[in-house]
Each structure stands twice: as C-alpha cells, then as structure tokens.
Amino acid sequence: MAGELNGKVALVTGASRGIGAAIARGYAERGALVVGAARSTDQLRELEATNPERISTATVDLRDAESLNSLVDLVVERHGRIDILVNNAGVAPAADFATEPIEQWRTTFEVNVIAPMTLAQAAGRYFIPQRSGKIINIASTTGIRGKPGLVGYSTSKGAVARFTEALAAEWARHNIQVNCIAPGAFATDAQSAVLESPDLLHRRVRRIPAKRMGDVSELVPLACLLAAPGSDFITGSIFVIDGGESGKL
C-alpha cells in the first residue's frame, strides 16, 4: 500500500540486484527513504536512478566490521534516523563438502552470519534508545532443510534463522521486531545456470508444487509488512516463500 512506510528510513544490504534491489525499490515506492548497500558500484547507480529522490546508495565490504558500523552511522547522518534494517546480502558457493576449503566456510559465515549480526548490533544502538526498530533477515529454505552441494551455505542460513529467533526474544522488550524471510527458488542472477538450461529449469520447477520459480517482486509485500507499524506484534518468525516446495512430504 502506497505510503505505509512514510517517514521511515531503511538500510538494505545486497541491494545492487535481485531480492535486495526489489525490496529497496518497494520500500521507496511506499514512502521510505532507503540506503541500498552492496559491493557493486555500477549496479548501485542503476538502483539509485530508479528513484533518486528516495534511494541513495553506499558501497560496503561486508567482511569489514568497521565499515559495517560506519554504514549504519552513514544512514543516520544522511536521514537523521534508522528504522529498518534488511540483512539481504549473502554468498552461496557450491562445493563438494569433502574437499571444500575452510577458508571458503569462513568467508560464507563472515558474509552470511557475522555481517548481519554486526549490522544488527550497530542498528541496535539507535533502535534501543528510540524504542523502535525492524530487522528483517533474508535466509533460505536451505537453512531449514539442508541441501547437498551447499553445506556451508545451508549451515550459515540455518544460523541466520536461529539468530533471528534469539535476537527477537532478547530485544522484544525494546519494541524491536526481528523476523526472517526464507525464499525458495527465485529467478535471480544466482539461479542463472538453472534459468539458462531448459533441462535444469524443467527439473528444478518439477520439484515445486506451484510449477514455477518465484519472481523477486513476490517477496516485496511481505518485506513491507514486516517493516510497517502493523507488524509490531510479529517477531521471531520465519516466513517461507517457496511455492509450496518445503511443505511437501
């Protein structure tokens, strides 16, 4: 609904493309001021151009704790406050677990787990005194049910889900809501190998009761609900959006 986020300020990571870009645009369309953060400067410029009055951007290294803390401060410097944090950025390296190097696990956890925790802590320094704040973590259905070939990624996204639940319980007394969206198969750049192969796409879609992959726009309404005042009694929840795939026997 247009205007449901009027006056709100949001930080969205991984905003250069896919789910993050869709959420950033959706928030701006509903009245929020948005800072979209990612590594890709060129794609961030494209995002900013879609709504320059409401979307600004920042380049960030998610493995640098100092940069993450500075990023939250930057949002407040630009807009005077921060109300919403969307931890969307992530990496999903596919590998054979038997030979996957420990350095790759570290990178996966630094980006997928430590960065969201660091940003949440930094945002909390503003949320707690103002007694309001929304944190929306983007996990994955592979964090609920493990997937072969993605052991490190699945484990990291499982950690994101548990982080959501634990922080929600700890910060509920401050009127801060922490929730998680766990997408299934969505048509994004991360799925390019599947989308570009008719055989792989057929096999992937066959496992989804809805018989199609999701479009990133279909995540936006839920992300907006969880950012809006109407969700103040929703916290510690994990919302699966996967066309029914994880609900099958």
Question: In this structure, what CATH number is given to the domain that contains residue 178?
Answer: 3.40.50.720
- What distance in Å separates the CA atoms of residue 26 and residue 248, rounded to the nearest whole number? 30
Q: Tell me if 82 sits within 8 A of 62, measured CB to CB.
A: no
Residue 249 in any domain: the answer is: no
Q: Is residue 157 part of a domain?
A: yes
Secondary structure of 83-115 as H, E, C letters? CEEEECCCCCCCCCCCCCCHHHHHHHHHHHHHH
Residues with Cβ within 8 Å of 107's Cβ and at least 6 positions away in sequence, in order, are: 63, 91, 93
* Type of residue at 145: R
Distance CA 97, CA 81 (A): 43
* 8 Å CB contact between 16 and 10: no
The one-letter amino acid code at 167 reads L
**3 within a domain of the structure (yes/no):** no
- Three-state DSSP class for 206? helix
CA angle 234, 238, 240 (to 5 degrees): 125
Residue 24 domain flag: yes
Give me the long-range contacts of 150-155 (CB less than 8 A, separation at least 24): 150/92, 150/94, 151/95, 151/97, 151/100, 152/93, 152/95, 152/97, 152/100, 152/104, 152/105, 152/108, 152/109, 153/90, 153/91, 153/92, 153/93, 153/94, 153/108, 153/112
1: in domain: no
**Predicted pLDDT at 190:** 63
CA 133 to chain centroid, in Å, comes to 16
pLDDT tens-digit profile, the chain (249 residues): 567 999 999 999 999 999 999 999 999 999 999 999 999 889 999 999 999 999 999 999 999 999 999 999 999 999 999 999 999 999 988 899 999 999 999 999 999 999 999 999 999 999 999 999 999 999 999 999 888 889 999 999 999 999 999 999 999 999 999 999 999 888 776 665 655 566 677 777 778 888 888 899 999 999 999 999 999 999 999 999 998 888 875
Max alpha carbon distance in the chain (Å)?
53
The verdict on residue 71 lying in a domain is: yes
* Domain membership flag for residue 179: yes
Residue 74: its pLDDT value, please? 97
Contact yes or no for 111/64 (Cβ under 8 A): no
Q: Residues 92, 160: contact at Cβ < 8 Å?
A: no
Catalytic residue among 27, 126, 127, 153: 153
Range(s) of the domain holding residue 218: 9-243
Instruction: Find, among 53, 45, 32, 182, the residue nearest to 23 by Cα.
Output: 32
* Whole-angstrom distance, CA of residue 154 vs CA of residue 143: 5
pTM: 0.94
153 included as an active-site residue = yes
Report yes or no on 208 lying in a domain.
yes
The angle formed by the CA atoms of residues 104, 87 and 125, to the nearest 5 degrees, is 115
Task: Indicate the number of domains in the chain.
Answer: 1
